């Protein structure tokens, strides 16, 4: 049985939940006390009583661990953060190593192609190279992509075809097999193939499935806390390796704020001022150097998106914690031309205790009741951002704390507050 990194993370989180569900008390036993000497001379040496029973047990106490809040959500959130971190910090190195391993296979094929006589040893050499590649792919890529079976298997169709040609001493069959194999391995390291099948931006497959387990029409942008890596995840709706069926593009406003989840057919170039489909209430969320902001139409007499300017900035600023180990901002939108992306901020900590500590009410962040979503109680929090009261929703899940949908609109005026989270891991039972 193979154990993937994601599977292990999820298993650990759930196992921790099961262990922490009960209470761990002290050991039962009798603790020996000191006897009284009564009226005896205090300098006299007491004669110990003979021991006739079992040795006396010494009572010990095991500290009760902090229970894991929302254990299933904790496991899912851990997987999301771990997958994002892999694309941020490990993707480039892994793809370089992948290309090197593929080139080794290609070199062996070229040597076999040039050989005057091909033997079983040539087949063995090719199988060794493809097996090394397959082991690398299994260890480093299959957790993150839907990988072609020929890359995951050492004794693949190209090796077997060459073996048939060699066993039959059929030179033409061998040439065809070698040509097909070289074409395949050359293609899998080409830029068009990498950008579609092993893409970092956008990300398909596992990360999208983690983020949106209940739908196929969402786009989720993810931005690292240091703003050093931005990517987005959405489904691949096209079977070809040249396109994904979603014409997603980024727009930047004059203020420098960007939207990442806009998708519709368009001409090139496609400046922001081409758009006249202004969002409902002339407000939209966008991401800039100050984090998530709300932009509003500064020229209400006309409909042009490049008139939008920041009205509220740094919406997550007061809830961000210095003690976090990871911080990721997500913008969750829908495939299409609408400007409907909503923000979520996720930060993780070294321990459950640390996550619990940051969710305790403080002067900067107040709390008032809860709202239910998918069977989980989200805390209603409020805080000040540049002189404006911001209302948001917060959930603690194990070592992670999730804050969603910050706005200057009170909770009572948002009856369908969770509608924009539909289909995501945050809204799935």
The pLDDT tens digits for 281-330 are 789 999 999 999 999 987 776 667 778 899 999 999 999 998 999 999 99
Lowest mean pLDDT: which of 12-16, 210-214, 279-283, 318-322? 12-16
- The residues, ordered by sequence, that sit 6+ positions from 180 with a Cβ below 8 Å of its Cβ are 158, 161
Whether residue 51 is predicted with pLDDT greater than 60 in this model: the reply is no
Least confident of 108-122, 291-305, 358-372: 291-305
**Integer angstrom CA distances of residue 131 from 4, 94, 134, 157, 159:** 19, 17, 5, 12, 10
Q: What is the pLDDT of residue 228?
A: 92
Q: What is the mean pLDDT of residues 212-238?
A: 89
Query: Would you place residue 47 in the very low, low, confident or very high pLDDT band (cuts 50, 70, 90)?
Result: very low
pLDDT over threshold 80, residue 62:
no
Residue 125 has pLDDT above 80, yes or no: yes
165, two tokens: 């040609």
Q: Which helix (H) or strand (E) holds 343?
A: strand 342-348
How far apart CA 147 and CA 197 sit, in angstroms, is 8
Spatial distance between the Cα atoms of 399 and 75, rounded to a whole number of angstroms: 10
Q: Looking at the predicted structure, is the pLDDT value of residue 43 above 50?
A: no
User: H or E element: which one contains 384?
Assistant: strand 376-385
**pLDDT recorded at residue 18:** 42
Query: How far is residue 355's CA from residue 81's CA, in Å, rounded to a whole number?
Result: 15
Task: Give the mean pLDDT of 53-80.
Answer: 74
| Distance, CA of 62 to CA of 207 (rounded, Å) | 39
Question: What's the pLDDT score for residue 48?
Answer: 46
**Weakest-pLDDT range from 65-74, 195-204, 305-314, 322-331:** 65-74
What digits encode the pLDDT tens for the residues 420-429? 999 999 998 7
Q: What is the pLDDT of residue 14?
A: 44
Report yes or no on whether pTM surpasses 0.85.
Answer: no
User: Is the model's pLDDT at 16 over the cut of 50?
Assistant: no
pLDDT value at position 268?
79
Burial class (CB in 10 A: 0-12, 13-18, 19+), 344: buried
| Cα–Cα distance measured from residue 214 to residue 200, given in angstroms and rounded to the nearest whole number | 22
Measured CA to CA, the distance from residue 179 to residue 189 in angstroms comes to 16
pLDDT at 263: 81
Q: How far apart are CA 131 and CA 377, in angstroms?
A: 49
Which pLDDT value is given to residue 21? 38
Q: What is the mean pLDDT of the chain?
A: 84
pLDDT in tens, 249-267: 888 899 999 999 988 877 7
Average pLDDT over every residue of 154-182: 98
- Own/partner pairs, 265-272, CB within 8 angstroms, 24+ separation: 271/306, 272/305, 272/306
Is there a contact between 288 and 223 (Cβ–Cβ < 8 Å)?
no
Q: Which of 159, 70, 138 lies closest to 356 in space, CA to CA?
A: 70
**CA–CA distance from 205 to each of 64, 198, 212, 288 (Å)?**
39, 10, 10, 28
Reported confidence tier of residue 363, pLDDT bands at 50, 70, 90: confident
Q: Which residues contact 149 (CB under 8 A, 6 or more apart)?
A: 156
Contacts for 263 with CB less than 8 Å, ≥ 6 apart: 219, 234, 246, 247, 248, 249, 335, 336, 337
């Amino acid at each position: 049985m193979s154990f993937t990194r994601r599977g292990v993370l999820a298993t650990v989180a759930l196992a921790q939940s099961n262990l922490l569900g009960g209470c761990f008390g002290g050991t039962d036993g009798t603790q020996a006390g000191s006897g009284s000497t009564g009226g005896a001379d205090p300098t006299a040496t007491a004669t110990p009583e003979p021991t006739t029973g079992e040795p006396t047990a010494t009572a010990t106490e095991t500290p009760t661990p902090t229970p894991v809040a929302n254990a299933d959500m904790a496991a899912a959130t851990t997987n999301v953060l771990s997958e994002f971190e892999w694309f941020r910090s490990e993707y480039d190195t892994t793809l370089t190593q992948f290309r090197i391993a593929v080139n080794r296979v290609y070199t062996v094929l070229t040597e076999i192609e040039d050989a005057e006589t091909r033997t079983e040893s040539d087949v063995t050499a090719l199988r060794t190279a493809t097996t090394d590649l397959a082991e690398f792919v299994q260890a480093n890529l299959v957790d993150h992509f839907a990988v072609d079976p020929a890359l995951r298997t050492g004794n693949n169709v190209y090796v077997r075809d060459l073996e048939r040609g060699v066993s039959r001493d059929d030179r033409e069959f061998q040439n065809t097999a070698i040509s097909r194999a070289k074409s395949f391995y050359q293609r899998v390291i080409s830029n068009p193939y990498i950008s579609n099948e092993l893409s970092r931006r956008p990300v398909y497959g596992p990360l999208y499935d983690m983020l949106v387990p209940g739908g196929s029409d969402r786009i989720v942008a993810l931005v690292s806390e240091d703003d050093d890596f931005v990517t987005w995840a959405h489904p691949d709706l096209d079977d070809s390796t040249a396109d994904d069926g979603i014409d997603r593009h980024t727009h930047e406003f004059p203020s420098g704020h960007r939207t990442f989840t806009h998708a519709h057919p368009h001409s090139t170039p496609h400046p922001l001022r081409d758009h006249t489909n202004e969002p409902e209430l002339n407000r939209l969320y966008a991401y800039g150097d100050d984090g998530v902001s709300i932009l509003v139409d500064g020229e209400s007499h006309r409909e042009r998106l490049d008139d939008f300017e920041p009205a509220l900035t740094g919406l997550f600023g007061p809830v961000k914690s210095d003690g976090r180990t990871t911080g990721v901002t997500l913008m969750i939108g829908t495939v299409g031309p609408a400007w409907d992306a909503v923000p979520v901020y996720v930060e993780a900590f070294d321990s459950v205790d640390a996550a619990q500590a940051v969710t305790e009410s403080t002067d900067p962040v107040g709390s008032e009741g809860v709202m239910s979503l998918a069977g989980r109680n989200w805390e209603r929090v409020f805080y000040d951002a540049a002189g404006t009261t911001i209302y948001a929703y917060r959930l603690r899940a194990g070592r992670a704390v999730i804050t969603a949908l910050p706005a200057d609109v009170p909770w009572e005026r948002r009856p369908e507050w969770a509608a924009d989270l539909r289909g995501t891991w945050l809204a799935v039972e």
